[in-house]
Amino acid sequence: MEEIGQNLERVRTQIADAAKRSGRSADEIELVAISKTHEVEKVHAAFDAGQRLFGESRVQEARAKIPLLPSAARWHFVGRLQKNKIRHAVPLFELFHSVDSIELARDMNRIAEEEGLHPRVLLEVNLAGEGSKIGFAPDALRAGMETLLAFPRLMVEGLMTIPPLAPEGEASRPFFIALRELKEQIEKEFGAPLPQLSMGMSGDFPVAIEEGATLVRVGTAIFGKRTPAKVRAERAGEI
Ligand SMILES: *Cc1c(COP(=O)(O)O)cnc(C)c1O
């Protein structure tokens, strides 16, 4: 558990270094500690080491975990949100990173209306064009943007992407650049500010910061490896 504090410190230093390299203030970047699959004790250790913002990717798991952590912990949702989980999820999370279709946005908007809430959301973009990956293709996002911005209950605050898995963080750079450019285009075209760019995971978050990330989603570098069975289920979209 002591390790978690050290890991966090290392990640925070890397964030500060990357910010400095790119002439940014480290205050512009928020670290989301991705605690999915990790036991409550480990999340507690991170909380005790000063981390307040956590990310989960399964509503069921988050519903069990969140009440066990101090209420000062804040939670983001980074997974694939199933329609039948929206009602449970909307009050739990302060930001949804992964709205990946108009249908999901429409369902969230309707349920948020019924619940009297205004969820903050990011739109997930699939920049690699991989068939198996979720997210809006850039053209589809532009085509749907007016509809997305018109949902009165959703606060659309930015974009998110997950580049293809690569052994080197540097391989993600073109995708991070593309996300930033897409954000700038959409801001210009639709006159809508999109302040948040959620990009960068354990293997590539310093590169993401150099390219403008405001939210980095780091799991393994803080909490250690997730168990292989869980990683497999995660890839298959079961988690
Ligand atoms: C699991 C997950 C992460 C964290 O990945 P690490 O490589 O463990 O840092 C980040 N973003 C999303 C969307 C995830 O599902």
For the segment 172-208, what is each residue's pLDDT rounded down to a tens digit? 999 999 999 999 999 999 999 999 999 999 999 999 9
Helix H or strand E segment including 128: none
Please, which residues have CB within 8 angstroms of residue 128's CB and are 6 or more apart in sequence? 163, 164, 175
The tally of domains found in the chain comes to 1
Q: Indicate whether 111 belongs to any domain.
A: yes
| Whether the Cβ atoms of residue 51 and residue 31 lie closer than 8 Å to each other | yes
Please, which residues have CB within 8 angstroms of residue 137's CB and are 6 or more apart in sequence? 125, 126, 129
Pairwise CA distance, residues 86 & 31, whole Å: 24
Minimum mean pLDDT range among 69-83, 164-178, 216-230: 216-230
Does residue 97 register a pLDDT over 90? yes
Per-residue confidence at 98, pLDDT binned at 50, 70, 90? very high
Pocket of ligand 1, candidates 11, 15, 31, 34: which has the most ligand atoms within 8 Å of its Cβ, to mutate? 34
Q: Indicate whether 99 belongs to any domain.
A: yes
Burial of 120 (0-12, 13-18, 19+ CB in 10 A): middle
Q: Can you tell me whether residue 23 is helix, strand or coil?
A: coil
Q: How many A from CA of 219 to the centre of ligand 1?
A: 6
Q: Indicate whether 91 belongs to any domain.
A: yes
At 58, list the tokens.
């399964």
Tell whether the torsion through CA atoms of 48, 51, 57 and 60 is positive or negative: positive
| Whether the Cβ atoms of residue 74 and residue 120 lie closer than 8 Å to each other | no
Q: Indicate whether 158 belongs to any domain.
A: yes
CA distance between the termini of the chain: 24
Kindly report, residue by residue over 100-117, the tens digit of the pLDDT. 999 999 999 999 999 999
Does residue 130 register a pLDDT over 80? no
Q: Looking at residue 129, what is its pLDDT?
A: 85
Per-residue confidence at 73, pLDDT binned at 50, 70, 90? very high
Q: Indicate whether 204 belongs to any domain.
A: yes
Q: Indicate whether 239 belongs to any domain.
A: no
Amino acid at 130: E
Please, which residues have CB within 8 angstroms of residue 84's CB and are 6 or more apart in sequence? none
Pairwise CA distance, residues 221 & 205, whole Å: 10
Find the domain containing 207 and state its range.
Answer: 2-234
Q: Indicate whether 205 belongs to any domain.
A: yes
- What is the overall mean pLDDT for the chain? 94
Nearest to 216 by CA among 47, 72, 78, 24: 78
Q: Looking at residue 227, what is its pLDDT?
A: 79
Pocket of ligand 1, candidates 57, 58, 95, 160: which has the most ligand atoms within 8 Å of its Cβ, to mutate? 57
Q: How many A from CA of 29 to the centre of ligand 1?
A: 17
Residue 224, domain CATH: 3.20.20.10
Q: Indicate whether 217 belongs to any domain.
A: yes
Kindly report, residue by residue over 38-59, the tens digit of the pLDDT. 999 999 999 999 999 999 999 9
